[in-house]
Amino acid sequence: MEEVSTHMTKRFTGFVALGAAGLLAVAGAVPAVAQTSIEMIAAQYTDNMQPYFDDLAARFMEENPDIDVTVQVVNWNDIDQVVTTRIATGEPPDIANLNYFAAFAADDLLYTADQIVDEATLADLIQGFRDNSKYDGVEYAVPDLASDRLFFYNTAILDAAGVEPPATWSDVKAVCQAILDTQPGIIPLALPLGPEEAQAEFLIWAGGNGGQYFDGENWVVNSAENLETLDFLQELVDMGCTQPNPGSFNRTEGAFQLFGEGIVGMLNGAIFLPGELENTYQSDVEWGVVPFPAADGKESITLGVQDYFFGFKNEDGSNQEAIQKFLSFLFIPDNYAAFLEAAGGFLPATVSAGETMSDDPFLAPFIEVLPSAIFYPSDQAAWGSVQGAIQDGIGAAFVPGADKQAILDEINSVGEEG
């Protein structure tokens, strides 16, 4: 027999068969506590996420015996498809953890933020992250964590080339050439524009040229600034500065791994990269960080990346209280600190956690560049579709003979039609 679906469980919690009720009455027994079941689909930041959530759910259920919680951790390559398929089949999870949410809010599928965490938790969330959790002016999600990006470099490789880390695009080309001239076999710059996170890699380069995806009113993926960015990145590929296949090259099992092996000189890296190098790749590479290089005459930016928790409404709202209790439990300081640790080291989304981490020397450079952060247009309902189009399509711009403008136009049309 197939397992009873969580959908059915949610709709019919707490029923007692008439015969059983009669027996209980005769025996004078106390009826069982009504049970509400909720399910969460969470992102796999690291391999530690499933053990973390298993422990969290077990401790929560000890304190809340009337609520049953199941958490399924899914890797980033698959989680979007898993969640959207569940929605399409009418069986959304009660809670999801993704890097976008607005499309679901636009379809009136979500609870508001004040319905999925308690008042104290909501008040503790950093205001800037709360502002980035709105759709049409209303908070529908809460930030789970955040990060920004810096430009990582292998100190031994740059020292051997006799160069300083770059500050501008011209510097990037000069450093690349110096590495090529002095260290055969070294890839000066990793450029992962494969489907894993192409939307981030391209935006941080484009942002340093004044480019963006959405200008507040219109989708502008096909802007002149973004085309110039593709042309610059093509120059780097053509001069041998990067690995030869940026469109099929991913960050974790590509750029990160090669950097950890000492084969790559420079790359775009997030706050969790050092933990990945140490724990996943057992790397002892010595590295440094600087702000991300910008186009000549332009301002350096960082990419602020914020992911979200959000809750799906069911037909009668019977899952709302359980969702709010569980997510509020997650944000209890000790539980939230363990979440950040399991995720591999990120900037916290709460004021209280930020205050305890502000004097960390490792975090200082990431905190310093936060004022220059640009974000994904995640408040736009079409962002999920546009993100997918960038992940699937931007790499094609590096196929010989590709029409880069046409590729940008096609991605932009996804937003306009969304």
* Cross-strand bridge partners of residue 287: 154
Please, what's the b/e burial string for 163-197 (b: 16 or more CB within 10 A of its CB; e: otherwise)? bebbbbbebbbebbbbbbeeeeebbbbbbbbbbbb
Distance of CA 316 to the CA centre of its chain: 31
How do beta strands 373-375 and 287-290 pair? unpaired
Q: Pick out the chain residues at pLDDT < 50.
A: 1-31
Identify which of 59, 57, 66 has the alpha carbon closest to the alpha carbon of residue 37: 66
Q: What is the pLDDT of residue 15?
A: 32
209 near 293, Cβ under 8 Å?
no
Instruction: Please state, in angstroms and rounded to a whole number, the distance separating the CA atoms of residues 381 and 100.
Output: 9
pLDDT in tens, 29-48: 444 566 999 999 999 999 99
pTM of the model: 0.71
Q: What is the pLDDT of residue 33?
A: 61
Q: What is the pLDDT of residue 418?
A: 75
